[in-house]
């Protein structure tokens, strides 16, 4: 007879669950990797600047570049 208003078929619920699962399997790992890269870049930049400031004037800085 068809789907009445307010009722969901088992097929539509299954498709929705599959889409949510696929989205989470793809979106969560990618977002973790991207945010990890951003955090690593920020920490590396901050530590590099701090090390340059701490050892300013040392003759070893010229050998490092």
* Tens of pLDDT, residues 17-62: 999 998 899 998 999 999 999 999 999 999 999 988 998 888 777 7
Q: Which pair of tokens denotes residue 3? A: 């789907």
Residue 14 banded pLDDT, cuts 50, 70, 90: confident
Indicate whether 12 belongs to any domain: no
Question: Is residue 30 one of the residues assigned to a domain?
Answer: yes
* Residue 36 located in a structural domain: yes
Domain presence at residue 31? yes
Record the pTM: 0.60
> Which residues form the domain of 40?
26-52
DSSP for 8-54?
Answer: --HHHHHHHHHHHHHHHHHHHHHHHHHHHHHHHHHHHHHHHHHHHHH
CA distances from 9 to 6, 15, 17, 20, 50 (A): 10, 10, 13, 17, 60
The verdict on residue 32 lying in a domain is: yes
* Number of domain units in the chain: 1
Residue 46 lies in a domain: yes
């Amino acid at each position: 007879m068809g789907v009445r208003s307010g009722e969901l078929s088992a097929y539509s619920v299954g498709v929705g669950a599959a889409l949510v699962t696929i989205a989470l399997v793809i979106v969560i790992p990618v977002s973790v990797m991207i945010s990890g890269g951003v955090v690593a870049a920020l920490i590396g930049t901050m530590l590099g600047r701090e090390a340059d400031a701490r050892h300013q004037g040392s003759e070893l800085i010229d050998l490092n570049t």
